[in-house]
Structure 1
């Protein structure tokens, strides 16, 4: 039952590199709010786009 802002703050202090937030609106639209470590704002992207970005970031250079 924690508030979303509390969860975002706790994970920011834990230095989680990327937070993906899906609320009611995002679920209806098929989007995700992305908050990056060190960034003040958030970016709204499609689910397919964020999956592709995260796969690319997680792939080691020798396998790319």
Structure 2
């Protein structure tokens, strides 16, 4: 799944990334570790 990671001032302050899907769905802000877990779970399905 294509993801966009947005890192602006707010994300830097909170040590997070804002995650959006390429289709425009906003997954919200999360830690980079949480996003890595999502990616690892998706990769395990392949």
TM-score of the alignment, normalized to the shorter chain, above 0.5? yes
Deviations 1:15-55 (A, max 9, x none): x8100111122112111100102234341112211011111
* Higher strand residue share: 2
Flag the 1:40–1:55 CA change in 2: closer, same or farther, 3 A: closer
How many residues were matched structurally? 46
Answer with 1 or 2: which has the greater Rg: 1
Structure 2 unaligned regions, length at least 5: none
Q: Compute the RMSD of aligned alpha carbons.
A: 2.1
Give TM-score, length-normalised by structure 2.
0.70
Pick 1 or 2: higher relative contact order, CA cutoff 8 A, min separation 6: 2
Give TM-score, length-normalised by structure 1.
0.56
Structure 1 unaligned regions, length at least 5: 1-15
